[in-house]
């Protein structure tokens, strides 16, 4: 069975729309995380962005205290976030590219170009016992570079697949995107790294990801939070887990 990491960023997005200056606004991301955990998910993911547009520092602290499952902290490779991770010691960190103008993270890290800076961060965090993954496009050069700096894991960006599937789930473009993901997963696994995946995954397209070999965990957020608006967080997570269950 593929593991499920639930990204609760968009719970905080809804809260911040009304309660930006309030510490106990609703909905509470920690409550959503606890409901996801109770439904059986395997980890909780949050992205602490530099502009703090949704998840706040105190959310991460509360999650670390409240959860019995791993907390995966997405973050940019900047000194501020490295300090936060070093203090809070989440079980996992996923380093992602970050631009202020983007709605959500678009595209993967250029590990090959930022090799030396990323290598320093990866080495530091992994020495603290944190599993570090790199959010990358399914491109051979990026996988090679990730292995060279000794990252323990990679997370494959599934955006191209999700976009192709949305246009036509049976198209050559969809099949080609899946083949690129499969090749990347084989390459990453062969290099000794754990292979995760995420971005744009939902209840309609996730079944196709099961044909990609060596995947360990899928990180899914917006689709689950959207479904939870009508059926609640536990049921939304349970429905996704059913799709991932062999």
Which domains does the chain possess?
A: 3-244 (3.20.20.70)
Cis peptide before 14, with omega less than 30 degrees from 0?
A: no
Average pLDDT over residues 39-49: 98
Positions annotated as catalytic residues are 47, 74, 199
C-alpha dist (Å) from residue 101 to 74, 113, 234: 18, 22, 32
Residue 175: is its pLDDT beyond 90? yes
Report CA torsion sign: 84, 35, 41, 12.
negative
pTM attached to this predicted model: 0.94
- Position 170 confidence tier, pLDDT thresholds 50, 70, 90: confident
Measured distance between the N- and C-terminal CA atoms of the chain, rounded to whole angstroms: 5
Contacts of residue 65, Cβ cutoff 8 Å, sequence gap at least 6: none
Contacts of residue 117, Cβ cutoff 8 Å, sequence gap at least 6: 77
């Amino acid at each position: 069975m593929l593991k499920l990491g639930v990204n609760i960023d968009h719970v905080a997005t809804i809260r911040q729309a009304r309660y930006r200056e309030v510490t106990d606004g609703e909905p509470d991301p920690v409550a959503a995380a606890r409901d996801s955990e109770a439904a059986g998910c395997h980890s909780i993911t949050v992205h602490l962005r530099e502009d703090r547009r949704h998840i706040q520092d105190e959310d991460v602290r509360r999650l670390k205290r409240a959860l019995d499952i791993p907390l995966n902290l997405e973050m940019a490779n900047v000194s501020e976030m490295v300090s936060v991770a070093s203090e809070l010691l989440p079980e996992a960190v996923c380093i992602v590219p970050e631009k202020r103008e983007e709605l959500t993270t678009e595209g993967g890290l250029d590990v090959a170009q930022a090799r030396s800076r990323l290598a320093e961060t990866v080495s530091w965090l992994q020495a603290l016992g944190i599993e570090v993954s790199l959010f990358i496009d399914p491109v051979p050069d990026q996988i090679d570079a990730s292995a060279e700096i000794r990252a323990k894991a990679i997370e494959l960006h599934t955006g191209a697949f999700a976009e192709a599937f949305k246009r036509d789930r049976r198209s050559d473009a969809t099949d080609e995107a899946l083949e690129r993901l499969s090749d990347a997963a084989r390459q990453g696994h062969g290099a000794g790294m754990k292979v995760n995946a995420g971005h744009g995954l939902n209840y309609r397209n996730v079944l196709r990801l099961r044909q990609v070999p060596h995947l360990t965990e899928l990180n899914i957020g917006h689709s689950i939070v959207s479904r939870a608006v009508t059926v609640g967080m536990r049921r939304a997570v349970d429905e996704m887990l059913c799709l991932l269950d062999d």
